[in-house]
């Protein structure tokens, strides 16, 4: 990401919690606490406060008396009685619909890059090998419908932070991942871009050297004749991500790199 910005510490990975101890993770607006009292885990999480909160605080292991459970508390009996907790950032479990600040017109032959920032999900596993006990958004996005009201359509998430032409204009937050979208109009007519439907369940997640999260590049080529949009999922994150390492694979594996969707299913 750009220089001069504070690099957030990675909050994901494998954490060992001794018997009777606890851990607490504050990742932006999301707070997770876990108490390991063999043979049970007590896990609580809460997503509240400011969406643009950039706090990252990992306190593990911690004094259990100092870690107050916030939000809904769940008691869990693991299969393996080990004080190991694994946190993995994931991408949204449904497609995400983004908007530019205002309607964008793409003239024939034009090509632009857009940057979109979306909250990540947290997959929490306990024991070894980890058993997933939680897969939740760091910030619950609004539902939205992409398609006709009488169907067919697709239930998606909507993000209210606009897609930006410049990366510098995006909020750099520890609980959000940045997606670079390359739009290319190969059609012989002007295309209006009001909404963009991004196939997040098909994307992988990467972390750069600064601990920022990125997704694969998504390239959308609009063809003229058949009104189809070719969607190309890049091999990795964009060049703006320094020394990227993959931290999570896609939720849904696509066997072909090129997806072909109706234009109306990608753009509105």
Partner 1 sequence: MQDSTANDAAWLRGIWEPVSGYLTAQKLVDWALAALVLLVGLLAARLARATFRRLIGVRLRAQHSLVAEKGIFYAVLGLAAITALHAAGADPSVLLGAAGILTLALGFASQTTVSNLISGLFLVGEQALKVGDLIRVGANEGYVVSIDLLSIKLRTFNNVLVRLPNETLLKSEIVNLSHYPIRRLDIALGVAYKEDLGRVQDVLLETAAKNPYCLDEPKPLFLVTGYGDSAVLLQFSVWFTRDTYWESIHRMRQRAFEALTAAGVEIPFPHRSIYAGSVTEPFPVRVVGGEDASGR
Task: List beta partners, residue 46.
Answer: 31
Q: In this complex, which beta carbon is closest to partner 1, that of residue 66 or of residue 150? A: 150
* Residue 101: C-alpha distances to residues 72, 81, 128, 156, 161 (Å): 36, 50, 45, 19, 9
Whole-number minimum distance, CB 141 to partner 1, in Å?
A: 7
Backbone angles phi, psi at 118, to 5 degrees: -130, 145
Contacts with partner 1 by CB under 8 A lie at: 97, 140-146, 149-151, 153, 155, 158, 160, 195
In whole angstroms, the minimum distance from the beta carbon of 211 to partner 1 comes to 27
**Which of these, 148, 149, 119, 151, lies nearest to 136 by C-alpha position?**
119
Closer Cβ to partner 1, 40 or 143, answer by number: 143
Cβ atoms of 215 and 91 within 8 Å: the answer is yes
- Backbone φ and ψ for 97, nearest 5 degrees, come out as -100, 120
Nearer to partner 1 by C-beta: 153 or 201? Answer: 153
Smallest distance from partner 1 to CB 154, Å = 9
CA-wise closest residue to 12 among 72, 104, 76, 87: 87
Contact 156, 144 (CB under 8 A): yes
Give the nearer residue to partner 1 in terms of CB position, either 95 or 237.
Answer: 95
Measured in degrees and rounded to the nearest 5, phi and psi for residue 163 equal -70, 135
Please, what is the minimum distance in Å from the beta carbon of residue 144 to partner 1?
4
Residue 158 vs 167, nearer CB to partner 1: 158
- Kindly state the smallest distance separating residue 97's Cβ from partner 1, in Å: 7
Residue closer to partner 1, measured from CB, 98 or 191: 98
Output the smallest distance, CB 138 to partner 1, in A: 13
């Amino acid at each position: 990401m750009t220089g001069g910005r504070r690099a957030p510490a990675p909050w994901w990975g494998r954490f060992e919690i001794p018997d009777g101890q606890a851990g607490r993770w504050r990742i932006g607006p999301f707070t997770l606490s876990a108490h390991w009292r063999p043979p049970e885990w007590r896990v609580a999480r809460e997503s509240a406060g400011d969406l643009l909160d950039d706090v990252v605080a990992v306190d593990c292991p911690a004094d259990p008396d100092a870690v107050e459970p916030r939000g809904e508390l769940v008691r869990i009996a693991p299969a393996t009685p080990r004080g190991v907790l694994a946190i993995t950032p994931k991408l949204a479990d449904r497609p995400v619909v983004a908007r530019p600040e205002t309607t964008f017109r793409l003239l024939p032959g034009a090509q632009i890059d857009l940057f979109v920032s979306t909250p990540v999900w947290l997959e929490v596993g306990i024991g070894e090998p980890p058993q997933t006990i939680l897969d939740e958004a760091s910030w619950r996005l609004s539902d939205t419908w992409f398609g006709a009201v009488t169907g067919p359509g697709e239930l998606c998430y909507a993000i209210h932070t606009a897609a930006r032409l410049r990366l510098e204009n995006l909020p750099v937050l520890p609980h959000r991942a940045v997606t670079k979208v390359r739009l290319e109009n190969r059609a012989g007519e002007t295309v209006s871009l009001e909404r963009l439907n991004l196939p997040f369940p098909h994307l992988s997640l990467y972390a750069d050297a600064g601990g920022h999260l990125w997704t694969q590049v998504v390239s959308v080529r609009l063809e003229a004749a058949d009104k189809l949009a070719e969607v190309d999922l890049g091999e990795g994150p964009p060049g703006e991500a320094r020394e990227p390492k993959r931290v999570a694979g896609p939720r849904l594996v696509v066997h072909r790199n090129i997806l072909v969707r109706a234009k109306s299913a990608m753009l509105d």
